[in-house]
């Protein structure tokens, strides 16, 4: 058969539409989506014919109406299965930005679901029966927990920094140490956020050293604020010097200038007793006199994505009144889950127990080892595959504690001559994808980030891929 004859033999669209199978696909996915996918599949076949010089009989078999429709259905099924999915995180990074950062506490999740599924008192004052203010409750919680005069919340920490600078220092110079011009993830950098706010960056000091005199030498009539950025996602060690918050505040206030600090991950309690490096808490920054503080809700705090702003009443009230506030405000589900997360912080022991991020950070390695052993007992591997439980190192992630790791345990699978990359790919294609690490051509499943309830599902996933690969 020649190319021309084969091209002429491609069934017409109407031929496909007469099929009962086509009718079922259309009923499920709509006529437009069906026709779009069918046209795409037929184009692939045409291109394949045009590119070939022989072997046309094989292509002719592909032109059977049912065979083409099977491919169309498979493609549409694949499209339908795309989007955000629940995954099993066996990578050992607790606050994994690409995997959604913090897992919500059970009470926070339940509250978000209940509020999302019903009408709520989001902006309704139940006492007066009139319009209310959505941030009243969250403001009270944050004031209690941080000691700040006031507080407000926007949709993420970059937005928090931007609206603070836009409110306090638009068209004014903001003094920032050169060593604090961090990139906060996804190529977003502090200088770029500042530029978007309309503030003018005035950098001082060197990469590793900055002194109070550097800040003071840069102060002039155009200065709007001093900015301090906590380098939560990296560390400069060795020959260094940075200005303490209290010292900066005292000097700035003599010039009637506010001090803004971006704490990044943000933390309400010192976790050094659990073997982590010391991190400045929000309360300490407030006590030091910082005028405006920003930090994330979905990192060390362990709540939903949010940018939390606390500080002096005079500045917070200005921020709340800014027109941009409406564009950056958070929705009812975020507020509901954040409120419930913050409530747990009134009792630190309860927060440690019930907030998954804090629970994993403070969990002892022996518990992780038990989960690893339970997982190993459920794996059915071929005889030539080596399975071991090894010591591992887990990380906080999310730009927090960059130099700290946790003692952890992992199930390690040596696949021999089989590809670890392919095995990892197959795990990611499952209905519930599994995210693991590859080290030295071996699959590493770090149990630090795998909850007890997910062990049977993880074991089933590993066994399924083992069966397919071998």
What's the full length of the chain, in residues? 470
Q: Mind listing the pLDDT tens digit for each residue in 136-156?
A: 999 999 999 999 999 999 999
Q: What is the pLDDT of residue 435?
A: 97
Q: Residue 250: exposed, middle, or buried by beta-carbon count in 10 A (0-12, 13-18, 19+)?
A: middle
Are 92 and 438 contacting, i.e. CB atoms less than 8 angstroms apart?
no
For residues 436 and 306, give the distance between their C-alpha atoms in angstroms, rounded to a whole number. Answer: 28
Computed from CA positions of residues 73, 76, 80, 86, in that sequence, does the dihedral angle turn out positive or negative?
positive
User: Which of helix, strand or coil describes residue 70?
Assistant: helix
User: In this model, does residue 5 exceed pLDDT 80?
Assistant: no
CA distance 179 to 380: 52
pLDDT at 235 over 60: no
Query: Does 1 score more than 60 pLDDT?
Result: no
pTM of the model: 0.86
Query: Could you tell me what percent of the chain has a pLDDT over 90?
Result: 70
Q: How far apart are CA 368 and CA 277, in angstroms?
A: 21
Largest interatomic CA distance in the chain: 90
Output the CA–CA distances (angstroms, integers) from residue 159 to 139, 305, 325, 368, 410, in the order listed.
Answer: 18, 11, 10, 37, 37
C-alpha span between 65 and 21 (Å, rounded): 10
Q: What is the mean pLDDT of residues 13-30?
A: 92
CATH of the domain spanning 88-95+361-469, picked from 3.40.640.10, 3.10.28.10, 3.40.50.720, 3.90.1150.180? 3.90.1150.180
**pLDDT per residue as tens digits for the range 404-452:** 788 999 999 999 888 999 999 999 999 899 999 999 999 999 999 999 9
Each domain of the chain, given as residue ranges in start order, spans: 3-80, 88-95+361-469, 104-354
**Predicted confidence (pLDDT) at residue 47 exceeds the cutoff of 60:** yes
Mean pLDDT for 372-377 is 97
Overall average pLDDT of the 320-343 stretch? 96
Would you say residue 272 has pLDDT above 70? yes
Mean pLDDT over all residues of the chain? Answer: 90
Domain 88-95+361-469 matches domain 104-354 at the CATH topology level? no
Query: Out of 3.40.640.10, 2.60.260.20, 3.40.50.2020, 3.30.1380.20, which CATH number does the structure's domain 104-354 have?
Result: 3.40.640.10
Name, in order, each residue with C-beta under 8 angstroms of 415's C-beta and a sequence gap of 6 or more: 385, 423, 441, 442, 443, 469
Residues 263-286, mean pLDDT to the nearest whole number: 86
CA pseudo-torsion sign 91, 97, 100, 102: positive
């Amino acid at each position: 058969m020649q190319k021309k004859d084969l091209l002429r033999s491609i069934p017409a669209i109407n031929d496909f539409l007469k099929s009962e199978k086509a009718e079922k696909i259309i009923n499920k996915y709509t006529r437009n989506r069906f026709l779009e996918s069918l046209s795409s599949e037929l184009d692939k076949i045409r291109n394949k014919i045009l590119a070939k010089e022989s072997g046309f009989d094989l292509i002719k078999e592909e032109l059977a109406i049912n065979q083409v429709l099977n491919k169309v259905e498979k493609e549409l099924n694949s499209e339908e299965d795309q989007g955000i999915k629940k995954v099993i995180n066996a990578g050992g990074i607790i606050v994994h930005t690409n995997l959604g950062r913090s897992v919500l506490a059970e009470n926070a999740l339940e509250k978000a679901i209940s509020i999302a599924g019903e009408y709520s008192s989001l902006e309704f004052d139940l006492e007066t029966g009139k319009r209310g203010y959505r941030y009243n409750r969250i403001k009270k919680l944050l004031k209690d927990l941080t000691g700040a005069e006031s507080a407000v919340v926007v949709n993420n920490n970059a937005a928090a920094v931007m609206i603070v600078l836009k409110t306090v220092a638009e068209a004014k110079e903001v003094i920032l140490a050169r060593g604090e011009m961090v990139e906060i993830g996804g190529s977003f950098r502090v200088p770029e956020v500042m530029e978007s706010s309309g503030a003018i960056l005035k950098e001082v000091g060197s990469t590793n050293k900055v002194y109070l005199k550097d800040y003071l030498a840069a102060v002039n009539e155009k200065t709007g604020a001093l900015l301090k950025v906590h380098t939560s996602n990296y560390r400069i060690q060795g020959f260094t010097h940075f200005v303490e918050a209290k010292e900066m505040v005292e000097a700035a206030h003599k010039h009637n200038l506010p001090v803004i600090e971006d704490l990044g991950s943000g933390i309400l309690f010192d976790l050094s007793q659990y073997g982590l490096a010391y991190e400045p808490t929000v309360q300490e920054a407030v006590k030091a006199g910082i005028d405006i503080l920003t930090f994330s809700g979905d990192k060390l705090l362990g709540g939903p994505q949010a940018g939390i702003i606390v500080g002096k009443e005079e500045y917070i009230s200005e921020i709340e009144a800014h027109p941009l506030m409406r564009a950056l405000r958070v929705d009812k589900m975020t507020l509901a889950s954040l409120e419930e997360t913050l409530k747990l912080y009134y009792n630190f022991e309860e927060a440690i127990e019930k907030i998954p991020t804090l629970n994993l950070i403070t969990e002892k390695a022996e518990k992780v080892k038990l989960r690893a052993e339970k997982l190993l007992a459920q794996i059915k591997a071929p005889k030539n595959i080596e399975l071991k439980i090894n010591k591992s190192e887990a990380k906080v992630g999310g730009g927090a504690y960059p130099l700290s790791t946790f003692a952890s345990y992992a199930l390690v699978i040596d696949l021999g001559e089989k590809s670890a990359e392919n095995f990892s790919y197959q795990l990611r294609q499952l209905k519930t994808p599994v995210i693991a690490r590859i080290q030295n051509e071996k699959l590493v499943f770090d149990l630090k980030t795998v909850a007890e309830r997910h062990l049977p599902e993880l074991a089933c996933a590993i066994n399924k891929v083992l069966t397919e690969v071998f």
